[in-house]
Structure 1
Amino acid sequence: MADFLSKTIFRVLLWITLTLQIDAGGFKRVCYYTNWSENRAVVESRFHLKEHIDPFLCTHLIYAFANINPSKLRIERAYPTEDDRLLPGSGLMFDFTDLKKKNPKLKTILSIGGETSSDAFKVIMGSDKNIKSFAENIHIYINDRNFDGIDINWEYRGSIYKTEFVYFLKELRSVFAAKARDTRSEQKLITIATAAGKHFIESSYDMPEIIKYVDFINVMAFDYFGPWSQVTGFMAPLYSRYSDKNFDHTLSQNWTMNEYVRLGAPPEKLVLGLHGAGSSFTLKSMVNHSVGDAVSAGGKAGPLLKLEGRMAYTEICMMGKDAVVYDKEQQQKFAYRRTLWVGYEDPDTIAKKVQYAVENNFGGVMFWSLDLDDFTGRYCHQGKYPLLSKVKNVSETLAPNTVVDKITTPKVIVTKSTTSETVVSLNTTETLSSKAVDTIKTSVTQGTHQKQSTTTVPTTTTTTTVWPPRDRGFRLFIIDLLIIIDSRNSTTILSFSGLIILLSLSICFLFLLR
């Protein structure tokens, strides 16, 4: 009997040891790769997956986008180069998931929907049977290509599909859980990308229900200002502009994130969206170039992206500048050259946003997208990926449970401009120190709409802090009388020290049985 018990305990412990995983979650750095960036018109701006991706820069990589075939209730490749339809196969999708061979901690996720394909969801949502079949086919597709999960980027469903969206997520979770249980494998992740604007947040999301089925939420906290705006403004301001009564106070990342929390989203499931491009404008007057000044149109297209009203960080680095201004109130920078005006993110401002996310106990930050950073280091002279490198360094320094690939210290990179420019600031300029540990003590309530409005708001600031931080500790789930991993949330159920204690006690128990 003692021999049988010892063998049984040994097998259970061995199974637990093999099943347990070191936490690859913690503070997430979620990065989107865009498949169309492989074939941009300007050769110098093309982003090649096999050549340019650093698999250690992000904790989660999301592949955007696969197509949805609503008539066949399945997802399909967008380009022939992505998937040769063989198993095991070749193509960009297989190259993408193969990055885990270089970094086993990396999670790879496939995204569907986006700006051009989201209408296909509406066709499928009309039938419960269709939703179930679609969920089954999603699992087949991502499993065959070795993706770790699916990202639902439905832009933007509105109130009519609010209930159907929850049912769809519930079916996805049910399918993923059943497949993991049947195969004794890690359960696939479910993430969603959500709107920043007040209207869409209120009309589209039943947050208390959604959070039951998703692992985390990528909040697209950007596009607050753009070519539709009548005045200059930032694409992704951290805080609202209360100093100007003509600015809608919901147009900021802080308002958006706090609104999701108010609606019931746990902070640790919210991932703050960052953007590698800036909103550009054509000023009506060369002498009026502050935030909130009148514009006649979006800014002229840059030399790489060739997009009116939007400039990648690389294009902003290349831009001749009459002045660079740091706006302390919204913690963003802008530059202008004659009638061209652009508000943007740089390593200093993005560091503050990472610190903001850490201090408010959010689940991480998301970056759209890899190709918008200076991925070759050719244009900004700040090394490869200056924006994402800053995100990585600051998050590893400040977030206690971020997995660190190697010991790194954030450092200040001093560069000399190749153009003549004047650097000025509004109020006082604040930059994050090289140690990136000074606390930013501000937290205000603020949010989003996709278009500029002129709502009059109070001049006083309402303060809402997400505090105290919620425990991200390890959780224990007992299923079928065995301890197994809660792979839905990609969290460790037992800390390393706890595992050592468990194994030590078990060895003592086995010794006593002898």
Structure 2
Amino acid sequence: MWKLNLLFLIGVVTLQEGLGDMQEHAVCQAPKRKDAHPLYCDQYYLCLPSAPLMKTCLSDTLYDEKRQTCLSKRRTKCTPGKILSTDAKKNLFGSCKRVICSYSGYSFQPESIDPLLCSHIHFLRYGYLNEKGLHLVSPDVNQTAKELVEMKKGHPHLKLMVTLQPIWKMSYEKLAAVKELRDFFLKSAAKVVREMQFDGLIIIWWLPHWKGNLYSELLKQTMIFLQAEAHASNLPRLLLSHHVGARRYLSYNHYNIATLHPHIDYTVIMASNMAGGWHSVIGHHSLLSEVGDVIDIWISKGYPRDKLVIGIPTFGRSFKLKDVSQTNLGAPAAGHGKLILPGVALYGAPPFTRICQLLSTGKATVVHSTVAAAPYLYYKDFWLGYEDADSVFYKTRYVIDRNLGGIYINDLENDDFAGQYCGLGVFPLLSSALDACRM
């Protein structure tokens, strides 16, 4: 398995405290990823291949045995007969500088999100701006935004970010080139973000002008405006983030990387669409080797490591195999994959919950790719690359080891948010990332 080198190294460094308890009360006996501590309700074990590794929840959180993750005390209770340890950790996200969660509000309400699970929430489904004002994507998004703000109360670490796309007569290219349009957009956007009681703005311009000069200018002028707005309003400056594509040619040709970092708080590299059914050969959509190349390009051009946030998808990418006897990476493909079985249908980019449903049937063959540092599966002519709890753990440790700016979970609603499908508790992919952060 591609993850074993790292996990064996981690597994042998087990904590001495509690080993006697572990021996007296056997843990990690059945196949599982985590197990509760037999005595302490704020501790648990990671069931690593070599030996269980004891972990401690953060202060004000307890380990929820049913949902297999640490949750705030208002969301879970100490199991009768157990006590609190005295080793509660204070750093919410351990070695991770940021744990950013993408959220759209389609699948569940904000009350289902424990505010201690994320450092930032990127709310990507709100509205558009043009010369006539704000256009909401649906009538319910204002209520969702209010519930996010309510959820944040008492948790000052949590930053709420929103994207407001320019449309019609406006475009990012026009905003960068025409001062009058840019001033109108930025003034309108800042007003909306303040009224929402959010903390910042996200720029998502997927294919900036060749060589990225207009893009650099847009970010520069946006930051200048936000600084002036903060001074005039006597309020903290709104944060500014942006999403960029994770391809080598984009990094070289579409972003003037050396000029960006003074004008941005952090950059999210969207490492989740590097392959798909639009390609003629099979590829993994979050190939770690290519992500590493993109990171190297940004760093070589002077971009600060601690501002680079790496996306980790909670969805898969499917292909139709051209030849069912060739299933490896690089095999010929015949478009997007589609698979319909009793009780489960997968096509395009299925969420992790659907992938778990397929895995539970036992029909698919699973391969753990050392090249992708992630698994893929195939069944007949259907091929699917995806992330699981182990690959998310590994990639999060990779981000930490490279001293980067954090991870971006893309997105919460594709994860098993209710713990219904995967048998790994609530938010198993996000929880695995947090386990890696808190090693």
Structure 2 length as normaliser, TM-score? 0.73
Letter in 2 for 1:180: A
Provide the rounded CA distance (Å) in 2 between the counterparts of 1:357 and 1:102.
Answer: 29
Unaligned residue ranges in structure 2 (runs of 5+):
1-89
Letter in 2 for 1:395: C
Give the match for residue 152 of structure 2: 100
Unaligned residue ranges in structure 1 (runs of 5+):
1-21, 39-46, 84-90, 240-251, 398-514
Q: Residues 24, 51 of structure 1: CA spacing in aligned structure 2 closer, same or farther, 3 A cutoff?
A: closer
Q: Aligned-pair distance for 1:199?
A: 2.4
Task: String of CA shifts for 1:462-481, please: whole Å, max 9, x gaps.
Answer: xxxxxxxxxxxxxxxxxxxx
Does the Cα contact within 8 Å between 1:132 and 1:171 map onto a contact in 2?
A: no
Q: Which moved more, 1:370-379 or 1:204-213?
A: 204-213
Q: How many aligned residue pairs are there?
A: 344
Letter in 2 for 1:347: A
Letter in 2 for 1:390: S
Provide the rounded CA distance (Å) in 2 between the counterparts of 1:117 and 1:333.
Answer: 41
Q: Does 1:66 align with 2:126?
A: yes
Provide the rounded CA distance (Å) in 1 between the counterparts of 2:219 and 2:159.
Answer: 20
Does the Cα contact within 8 Å between 1:302 and 1:315 map onto a contact in 2?
A: no
> Match for 1:110 among 132, 148, 162?
162
Higher strand share: 2
> Match for 1:78 among 117, 125, 137?
137
Q: Percent identity?
A: 24
Q: Residues 93, 386 of structure 1: CA spacing in aligned structure 2 closer, same or farther, 3 A cutoff?
A: same
Does the Cα contact within 8 Å between 2:286 and 2:372 map onto a contact in 1?
A: no
> Match for 1:29 among 92, 99, 122?
99
Task: String of CA shifts for 1:265-294, please: whole Å, max 9, x gaps.
Answer: 111110011101111112123322222222
> Match for 1:315 among 339, 346, 354?
354
Give the match for residue 157 of structure 1: 208
The alignment yields a C-alpha RMSD, in angstroms, of 2.6
> Secondary structure, in 3 states, of the residue corresponding to 1:284?
coil
Provide the rounded CA distance (Å) in 2 between the counterparts of 1:188 and 1:118.
Answer: 26
Give the match for residue 263 of structure 2: 213
Provide the rounded CA distance (Å) in 1 between the counterparts of 2:399 and 2:257.
Answer: 20
Provide the rounded CA distance (Å) in 2 between the counterparts of 1:290 and 1:118.
Answer: 46
Q: Residues 153, 176 of structure 1: CA spacing in aligned structure 2 closer, same or farther, 3 A cutoff?
A: same
Q: Residues 312, 394 of structure 1: CA spacing in aligned structure 2 closer, same or farther, 3 A cutoff?
A: same
Q: Which moved more, 1:350-359 or 1:149-158?
A: 149-158
**1:386-401 matched pairs, under 5 angstroms:** 386-397=428-439
**1:350-361 matched pairs, under 5 angstroms:** 350-361=392-403
**1:363-512 matched pairs, under 5 angstroms:** 363-397=405-439
Task: String of CA shifts for 1:173-197, please: whole Å, max 9, x gaps.
Answer: 2222223233443211000001112
Does the Cα contact within 8 Å between 1:158 and 1:200 map onto a contact in 2?
A: no
Does the Cα contact within 8 Å between 1:68 and 1:120 map onto a contact in 2?
A: no
Q: Residues 305, 264 of structure 1: CA spacing in aligned structure 2 closer, same or farther, 3 A cutoff?
A: farther
- More contact order relative to length (CA 8 Å, sep ≥ 6): 1
Does the Cα contact within 8 Å between 1:61 and 1:109 map onto a contact in 2?
A: yes
Task: String of CA shifts for 1:163-182, please: whole Å, max 9, x gaps.
Answer: 33222222222222223233
Q: Residues 32, 226 of structure 1: CA spacing in aligned structure 2 closer, same or farther, 3 A cutoff?
A: same
Q: Aligned-pair distance for 1:93?
A: 1.5
Letter in 2 for 1:317: C
> Secondary structure, in 3 states, of the residue corresponding to 1:295?
coil
Q: Residues 24, 383 of structure 1: CA spacing in aligned structure 2 closer, same or farther, 3 A cutoff?
A: closer
Does the Cα contact within 8 Å between 2:173 and 2:209 map onto a contact in 1?
A: no
Q: Residues 107, 214 of structure 1: CA spacing in aligned structure 2 closer, same or farther, 3 A cutoff?
A: same
Letter in 1 for 2:324: M
Provide the rounded CA distance (Å) in 1 between the counterparts of 2:175 and 2:229.
Answer: 22
Does the Cα contact within 8 Å between 1:301 and 1:309 map onto a contact in 2?
A: no
Does the Cα contact within 8 Å between 1:118 and 1:156 map onto a contact in 2?
A: no
> Match for 2:220 among 163, 166, 170?
170
Does the Cα contact within 8 Å between 1:222 and 1:253 map onto a contact in 2?
A: no
Task: String of CA shifts for 1:211-259, please: whole Å, max 9, x gaps.
Answer: 11100000111211101121221110112xxxxxxxxxxxx21111111
Does the Cα contact within 8 Å between 2:274 and 2:284 map onto a contact in 1?
A: yes
Q: Residues 305, 93 of structure 1: CA spacing in aligned structure 2 closer, same or farther, 3 A cutoff?
A: farther
Give the match for residue 328 of structure 2: 290
> Secondary structure, in 3 states, of the residue corresponding to 2:222?
helix
> Match for 2:287 among 231, 237, 241?
237
Provide the rounded CA distance (Å) in 2 between the counterparts of 1:31 and 1:302.
Answer: 30
Q: Aligned-pair distance for 1:75?
A: 4.3
> Match for 1:139 among 190, 196, 203?
190
Structure 1 length as normaliser, TM-score? 0.63
Q: Does 1:127 align with 2:194?
A: no
